[in-house]
Amino acid sequence: MVRLYALLAIGQLILAVVALISCLSAEDDEIRALPRFAWVLIILFFPLVGSIAWFVAGRPASPERPVAGGRPAGGRPAGGRDRRPPLAPDDDPEFLRSLDDERSKRDRELLDTWERDLRRREEELRRRESPPPREEDKPDA
């Protein structure tokens, strides 16, 4: 029986530590129902009940779980300021379009330069490889 109580006490302690870490690492505007300070005190003074209450009512809601009370799943007020991080450059269609314009212009210029250089080199090779005129082909002077 003592082992069971020890096991339950360790489980409660682990739950409280995980809840405390979750509470302290959550963004301020995503914590629901109470301020962070109140959640920390509840978790510390009532480890089992406070931890369960934090996971049920206080932590940021997951995006797939809607929240009642007119607040979207992220815990932000409806119609409030959206603090989504900016899109990564490779996800921003406007940025990709601007890159395509700049890149295609640069690429065309580079391709034209390469083609001119290739034609010049081919002409030089043709001149070097063409056999010198034979005596028979030379006009009589």
- Residue 11's pLDDT band (boundaries 50, 70, 90)? very high
Residue 138 lies in a domain: no
Q: How many domains does the chain have?
A: 2
Mean pLDDT of 15-27: 92
Residue 39 lies in a domain: yes
pTM over 0.75: no
- Residue 20's pLDDT band (boundaries 50, 70, 90)? very high
Residue 124 lies in a domain: yes
Residue 10 lies in a domain: yes
Which domain does 46 fall in, by range? 2-58
pLDDT at residue 70 tops 80? no
Residue 118 lies in a domain: yes
Which residue type occupies 60? P
Structure tokens given for 48? 């089992």
Residue 135 lies in a domain: no
Helices 36-45, 2-25: inter-axial angle, 10-degree rounding:
170
Q: Which of 19, 43, 58 is the endpoint of a domain? A: 58
Examine the domain organization and report whether 8 and 52 are in the same domain.
yes
Distance CA 1, CA 93 (A): 63
Summarize pLDDT for 30-65 with one digit per residue, the tens: 888 888 999 999 999 999 999 999 999 887 766 554
